[in-house]
Amino acid sequence: MPRAQQLNKAVFLDRDGTLIHDRPGHYLSRPEDLRVYKNAPAALALLQKHGFKLFIVSNQSGVGRGYFTGKTARAINARLESLFKKRGVKITETVFCPHAPDAGCSCRKPAPLMGERLIRRYKLSPPVCYMAGDKKSDAQFGRNLGFSTIFVKTGHGAAQLKKHGGKVADRVTADILSAAKWIIKHEIPD
């Protein structure tokens, strides 16, 4: 596959409950409390090895609710990127919506605005992109962008599956490493 085509494919990743531990009912408001899932670095390294750009796309309503600041959210994201970098994984970019659910913004997942901006900025090809997350809104976000979607059972995943039924995404996997392996095995040819 020509290198130019490889640069157009990407995996978009939800943060809380997909890459890091998410405690239901609590907001991660301190960088030092961040806990990466044990297999997340290996999953992202595998995707990176196969030529995927990696993006973290997250709703951070704790900012809009006043639980922590945008500066704190950026510090948490910077720490996460640093932890991955130490394991040889480069996150291309991390973006987040800082608004509360009732703010009526156009950037909160499942609305596609954050993804559309990244697609334009990095000249991504949606048919060869994927979205992985633990909530129905993550899968809908991916669908809204024309991506294949993977739902992980970590974080809120198990409860969301029970609530919305088994068909919330194109594929349901146990965790992010299983999702990465599925993506590599079933990669859409470009």
Burial of 27 (0-12, 13-18, 19+ CB in 10 A): middle
CATH for 167:
3.40.50.1000
Chain centroid, CA 127 distance in Å: 17
Chain centroid, CA 123 distance in Å: 18
Percent over 70 (pLDDT), the chain = 94
Tell me which residues are annotated as active site: 14, 16
Dump pLDDT digits (tens) for 26-80. Answer: 899 999 999 999 999 999 999 999 999 999 999 999 999 999 999 999 999 999 9
Q: Is the pLDDT of residue 1 over 60?
A: no
Distance (Å, whole) CA 115 – CA 112: 5
Of 144, 154, 126, 155, the closest CA to residue 55 belongs to 126
Dump pLDDT digits (tens) for 98-117. Answer: 999 999 999 999 999 999 99
pLDDT of residue 189: 59
Q: Is the pLDDT of residue 6 over 90?
A: no
Q: Is the pLDDT of residue 5 over 60?
A: no
Phi/psi-derived region of residue 49, left when phi > 0, alpha when psi is between -120 and 50, beta in every other case = alpha
Distance (Å, whole) CA 87 – CA 41: 7
pLDDT of residue 164: 85
The mean pLDDT value for 131-146 works out to: 97
pLDDT of residue 187: 78
Dump pLDDT digits (tens) for 140-184. Answer: 999 999 999 999 999 999 889 888 877 789 999 999 999 999 999
- Look at residue 13 and tell me if it is in a domain: yes
Tokens of 164: 């919305």
With contact defined as beta carbons under 8 Å apart, do 170 and 150 qualify?
yes
- Look at residue 190 and tell me if it is in a domain: no
pTM score of the predicted model: 0.93
- Look at residue 97 and tell me if it is in a domain: yes
Q: How many domains does the chain have?
A: 1
What is the distance in angstroms between the CA of the first residue and the CA of the last residue of the chain?
Answer: 9
Distance (Å, whole) CA 94 – CA 110: 16
Give the structural domain span for 135.
3-185
